[in-house]
Amino acid sequence: MSENEPVGGNAPVRRVSDWDAARLRELAAEHGTPLYVQDLDRVRENCERLLAAFPDADVRYAVKAHTGRAVLEAVRDAGLDAECASAGEVDRALAAGFDGSRLHYTAVNPPARDLDYVVDAAEAEPDITVTAGAVDTLDRLAERGYDGRVCVRVNPGVGAGHHEKVTTGGAAKFGIPYDRAAAVAREAAERFDAVGIHAHAGSGIDPDQLDSHRELVARMGELARELAEPSDETAAPLDLEYVDVGGGFGVPYEEDAPPLDLSAVAAATREAVAPLPAGVDLAVEPGRYVVADAGVLLTRVNTVKPTPDETVVGVDAGMTDLLRPAMYDAYHPISNLGGGRDRDGGDAPAPADREATPVTVAGPICETGDALCRNRALADPFRGDLLAVGVAGAYGYEMASQYNSRPRPAEVALDDGTATTARRRETLGDLTVVEREAASDGNRPEATPDGDRPEAGR
Ligand SMILES: *Cc1c(COP(=O)(O)O)cnc(C)c1O
């Protein structure tokens, strides 16, 4: 199958130019900017393509890419499980109706209050699975009386990613070193219900990184076979349910980048993991792929400043709204939807009738890194123009902050074309609410410091 052929009957990518510009202008006028727009129909299409490409695998949505309630419900209804990175994400997934059997919590150096929360939650939902990447994490679960489902996170020694900051597969922070993983999994099985092994290479598997993905998957297949049929005859065989090879499926951010060939990734994955022991399923955990091209960030031009080097276009969204360009030098496509005025107050020409000018689009934050793009050709901007920043649905709102005392933006969810406010715009009052509450509590220490209790050392 060619890389541009739809999988499961829908387009492999939605570009920023595929959005209905008139509708986006309408939403910006109604809700103000900066505004995230997340299209649930596109989320569903992405889920469908994943399920079609991996029909016999367990597909788990990595919730951290977008935790909005409406998105979680859409993903749940589509049939994906939830992969959570914190107690807060487990809480959101439970609230969105994922039951324990569809809930996976991956504990990375988990704070005590996260473990407390999840061990509590597992009493009501005993089918929750906790994925641990260190023996200490397993010990801390046992100390809390937990004897439920665990999965062992393995450091496969290979990583992949669009940026070194998100390449996890080879980083010592993540997972049990590969050559100790079998022993740790066997020991875990004596204390818990050991149901799986897991590895995540990093974020951003793209067409030229398939080889490292294949290598990771092959190592995980080998480990699964070793655990099911130990080469050491004194070791007890494990009855695993799954091998989880992580997420990281890339999406094309550049306008001309080809979409990931999902069926090729699926075929390479199946081939590299084989032969899986009887009864062991493959699992994958895409986050970005599910939500990235389902979201745009709308921002309004407030300043156009020609300088000898470039034209700086000031907008009302910055690194506090969309951190990826500042943090990862990430590229996001930007389209000028027009609507601005010239200096005499007249309507500016339609963007299609303007020259393209190289511009830097910069936000309101007092940091040089606060730019959404640099030196990019954009239809000559006017004050009041609306810009659509594409492929912003993953790690967009999630990484938003209140730095520079900027309230976080609003978000609307589109469902079958109908817009509802999914996250209201924060107010200046929201910025100080935790301070005012602390003051009205008479600055007493936290009422429930349970998560901070010292734990037994080793
Ligand atoms: C972040 C993460 C994912 C998802 O990564 P994407 O690049 O968004 O697909 C999957 N698994 C784990 C353990 C993660 O931390």
Per-residue pLDDT tens over the stretch 180-220: 999 999 999 999 999 999 999 876 577 777 888 899 999 99
Q: Is the CB of 19 under 6 A from ligand 1?
A: no
Supply the Cα-derived Rg of the chain in whole angstroms.
24
Q: How confident is the model at residue 167 (pLDDT cuts 50, 70, 90)?
A: low
Which of 64, 243, 251 is the pocket-test mutation for ligand 1 (most atoms within 8 Å of CB)? 64
pLDDT of residue 440 exceeding 60 = yes
Regarding the beta carbon of 248 and ligand 1, being less than 6 Å apart is answered yes
Res 457 pLDDT > 60: no
CA of 123 to the centre of ligand 1 (A): 26
| pLDDT above 90 (res 159) | no
CA of 336 to the centre of ligand 1 (A): 31
Q: Output the residue whose Cα is nearest ligand 1's atom 10.
A: 247
Q: Sign of the C-alpha dihedral, residues 158, 65, 291, 270?
A: positive
CB-side neighbour CA atoms (13 Å) of 449: 6
> Cα–Cα distance between 203 and 288 in angstroms, integer?
8
Q: Give the pLDDT confidence score for residue 204 in this predicted structure.
A: 57
Of 47, 84, 366, 373, which is the active-site residue?
366
128-152: average pLDDT: 98
Listing DSSP states for 337-353 in one string gives ----B-TTSPBPPPGGG
Which residue did the predictor score with more confidence, 349 or 166?
349
In sequence order, what E strands does 337-435 have? 356-362, 371-379, 386-389, 410-415, 418-423
Partners of 196 in the beta sheet?
A: 151, 242
Q: State the pLDDT confidence band at 446, using cuts at 50, 70 and 90.
A: low
Q: Which single residue is written with the structure tokens 């209201």?
A: 424
CA atoms within 13 A on the CB side of 334: 33
d(CA 240, CA 228): 7
Would you say the CB of residue 102 lies under 6 angstroms from ligand 1?
no
Query: Does the annotation flag 287 for ligand binding?
Result: yes
More confident residue, 445 or 297: 297
pLDDT of residue 11: 93
212 lines ligand 1 (CB under 6 A): no
Per residue in 420-429, pLDDT (tens digit) is: 999 999 999 9
Q: Work out the angle between the directed axes of helices 178-191 and 135-143 (0-180°, nearest 10).
A: 10
What mean pLDDT is predicted for residues 44-71? 98
The pLDDT assigned to 202 comes to: 74
> What's the mean per-residue pLDDT of the chain?
93
Q: Is 203 in the pocket of ligand 1 (CB under 6 A)?
A: yes
pTM for the full model?
A: 0.94
Alpha-carbon distance of 49 to 263, in angstroms, equals 9
Q: Which domains are assigned to the chain?
A: 41-290 (3.20.20.10)
- What atom in ligand 1 is closest to the CA of residue 395? 8
User: Is 367 known as a binding-site position?
Assistant: yes
Inform me whether the pLDDT recorded for 7 exceeds 70. no
Q: What is the pLDDT of residue 166?
A: 61
Q: How distant, in Å, are the alpha carbons of 54, 104, 143, 144, 371 from that of 35?
A: 34, 31, 45, 43, 17
Q: Which of 81, 200, 205, 213 to mutate to test the pocket of ligand 1 (most atoms within 8 A of CB)?
A: 200
Q: What is the pLDDT of residues 255-290, one digit of tens each?
A: 999 999 999 999 999 999 999 999 999 999 999 999
CB 150 within 8 A of CB 197: no
Question: Does residue 165 carry a pLDDT above 50?
Answer: yes
Verify whether residue 84 is a known catalytic residue: no
Encode pLDDT of 116-125 as tens digits.
999 999 999 9
pLDDT confidence of residue 2 = 43
Is 288 marked as binding a ligand? yes
* CB 196 near ligand 1, within 6 Å: no
As a whole number, mean pLDDT of residues 437-449 equals 72
Q: Which residue has the tokens 């499980």?
A: 81
| pLDDT on residue 142 | 98
Quick one: average pLDDT of 304-328? Answer: 96
Question: Quick check: 137 pLDDT over 70?
Answer: yes
3-state DSSP assignment of residue 244: strand
pLDDT at 211: 85
Residue 328 is labelled as binding a ligand: yes
Q: Please answer whether residues 215 and 170 qualify as being in contact, where contact means their C-beta atoms are separated by less than 8 angstroms.
A: no
Number of neighbouring beta carbons within 10 Å of residue 354: 17
Chain segment 223-246, per-residue pLDDT in tens: 999 999 999 999 999 999 999 999
Band of pLDDT at residue 449, cut at 50, 70 and 90: very low
Would you say the CB of residue 410 lies under 6 angstroms from ligand 1? Answer: no
